[in-house]
Amino acid sequence: MQEVANWFYSLYTITLANPHVWGFLASVPFIIGGLVGTVFPALPGTALILGGFLVYGLITGFDSLSAWFFIGQTVFVILSYLIEFLATAFGVKMFGGSKAAAWGAVLGSLLVFVLGPIGIIVGPLLGAIAGELIMGEQVKQALHSGFGSFLGFMGGVIANLVISGLMIAWFIWEIL
Q: Return the SS3 of 41.
A: coil
Conformational region of residue 165, where left means phi above 0, alpha means psi within -120 to 50, and beta covers everything else:
alpha
CA 35 to the chain's CA centroid: 6
Counting the structural domains of the chain, the total is 1
pLDDT at residue 14, rounded to an integer: 65
Across the chain, which has 176 residues, the per-10-residue mean pLDDT values are 71 71 92 89 86 95 92 96 84 83 82 77 85 85 84 89 96 94
pLDDT at residue 11, rounded to an integer: 63
End-to-end CA distance of the chain: 33
pLDDT at residue 161, rounded to an integer: 94
Amino acid identity, position 175: I
pLDDT at residue 8, rounded to an integer: 65
Ramachandran angles phi, psi of 63, nearest 5°: -75, -20
Domain range for 83: 2-175
pLDDT at residue 108, rounded to an integer: 83
CB 147 within 8 Å of CB 95:
yes
Ramachandran angles phi, psi of 109, nearest 5°: -65, -15
pLDDT at residue 122, rounded to an integer: 85
| Alpha helix (H) residue ranges in 61-111 | 67-94, 99-108
